[in-house]
Amino acid sequence: MTQSFQVRYYAQLREALQVSTEELSLDLPTSERAILDRLAEMHPKQRELFFASRVAVEEAYVDADALLSKLADGIDIISPISGG
């Protein structure tokens, strides 16, 4: 089943892409790897940044091997963080 959902960007990734959100359509269930691969394909110049990023669903980082199917609320792409 293909589903569309919102992808949210922050900080360096938002600036590099010049958008804070975009729509993505993927077959579900999917995975962090598949999402980042797809986004890197759509934005090849930011490939390295996507591959250094983590995916969060419902405000929690997803596990690398998790099968993701509840993406209706969208996902956050957490590019390399620098808090503290």
Which residues in this chain contact other proteins in the complex, by CB under 8 A? Answer: 8, 10-12, 15, 32-33, 36, 50-56, 59-64, 76, 78-84
**Minimum CB distance to other proteins, residue 31 (Å):** 10
Q: How far apart are CA 49 and CA 13, in angstroms?
A: 7
**Minimum CB distance to other proteins, residue 3 (Å):** 21
What is the DSSP track for 10-71? -HHHHHHHT-SEEEEEEESSB-HHHHHHHHHHH-GGGHHHHHT-EEEETTEEPPTT--B---
Closer residue to other proteins, CB minimum distance, 17 or 36: 36
**Minimum CB distance to other proteins, residue 64 (Å):** 4
